[in-house]
């Protein structure tokens, strides 16, 4: 998956922006991106354990307080393969090109060669990036990944999307790394409510 087909950083591209922050979840198949998105939106729902279950980008609107309205995109696995898989990756590529933040999800306590290539591209683009170690209920937190994040200045958060562990901390990390232009977006609902809509 090549995330930057046109070259250059995201900030230099003339992409249409709205007042709603766009946050895209990236990562290999079966690292728990869909379950993590549900956890971030406070939704409890069944997610298939089948590898590559997400076959098209899925968006959800959410009120991330005290920040305001955001749009989350759940994408196909960066390692999707085959003719259809490559088409799905192309669709994800377009979403990444207009994203304001990226949540890069890994699991199993390791970074693959493909992960490293994706992260290198994202770092070159200078897009706000958070690396999430998911499934810490099944695998211990990787000190190697945390060291990698410190070395490259990447925000890192360990979570268990299935158990809900670390989700509030991840939200706080998201808010603290939001681009300045979105820091004062007006909320859509009062501070006592949350809204998550799926399109």
Mean pLDDT over 165-194 rounds to 76
Mean pLDDT over 168-182 rounds to 91
pLDDT, tens digit, for every residue of 66-76? 888 999 999 88
- Mean pLDDT for the chain? 79
User: How far is the C-alpha of 93 from the C-alpha of 89, rounded, in Å?
Assistant: 6
Lowest mean pLDDT among 13-27, 28-42, 116-130, 178-192: 178-192
pLDDT, tens digit, for every residue of 117-167? 999 989 998 889 999 999 999 999 999 999 999 999 999 999 999 999 999
- Name which residue leads in pLDDT, 125 or 196: 125
User: How far is the C-alpha of 111 from the C-alpha of 146, rounded, in Å?
Assistant: 11
User: How far is the C-alpha of 40 from the C-alpha of 55, rounded, in Å?
Assistant: 20
CA 50, chain centre distance (Å): 20
Question: For 38, how many CA atoms within 13 A lie in the half-sphere containing its CB?
Answer: 15
User: How far is the C-alpha of 103 from the C-alpha of 86, rounded, in Å?
Assistant: 21
Q: What is the pLDDT of residue 51?
A: 44
pLDDT, tens digit, for every residue of 99-122? 999 999 999 988 999 999 999 989
Percent of the chain with pLDDT over 70: 68
Q: What is the pLDDT of residue 83?
A: 65
The domain locations on the chain are 18-198
Instruction: Find out if CATH 3.40.50.300 is the number for domain 18-198.
Output: yes
Is it the case that residue 29 has pLDDT exceeding 80? yes
Q: What is the pLDDT of residue 100?
A: 94
- How does strand 196-198 pair with strand 21-27? unpaired
Select from 152, 163, 160, 147 the least CA-distant residue to 129.
152
Is-contact 32 53, C-beta < 8 A?
Answer: no
Sole residue written with tokens 């696995």? 77
Mean pLDDT over 15-20 rounds to 56
Mean pLDDT over 41-52 rounds to 57
Q: What is the pLDDT of residue 18?
A: 55
pTM of the model: 0.77
Q: How confident is the model at residue 192 (pLDDT cuts 50, 70, 90)?
A: very low
CA dihedral sign of residues 114, 115, 120, 122: positive
């Amino acid at each position: 998956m090549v995330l930057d087909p046109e070259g250059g950083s995201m900030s230099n591209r003339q992409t249409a922006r709205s007042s709603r922050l766009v946050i895209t979840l990236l990562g290999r198949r079966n690292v728990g991106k869909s379950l993590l998105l549900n956890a971030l939106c406070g939704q409890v729902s069944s997610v298939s354990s089948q590898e590559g279950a997400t076959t098209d980008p899925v968006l959800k609107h959410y009120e991330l307080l005290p920040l305001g309205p955001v749009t989350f995109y759940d994408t196909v696995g960066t390692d999707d393969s085959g003719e259809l898989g490559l088409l799905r990756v192309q669709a994800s590529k377009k979403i990444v090109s207009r994203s304001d933040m990226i949540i890069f999800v890994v699991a199993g306590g390791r970074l693959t060669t493909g992960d490293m290539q994706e992260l290198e591209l994202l770092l070159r683009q200078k897009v706000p990036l958070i690396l999430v170690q998911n499934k810490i209920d099944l695998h211990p937190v990787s000190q190697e990944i945390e060291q990698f994040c410190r070395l490259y200045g990447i925000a890192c958060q360990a979570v268990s999307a299935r158990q809900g562990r670390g989700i509030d901390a991840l939200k706080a990390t998201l808010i603290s790394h939001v681009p300045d232009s979105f820091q004062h977006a007006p909320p859509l609902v009062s501070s006592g409510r949350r809204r998550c809509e799926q399109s």
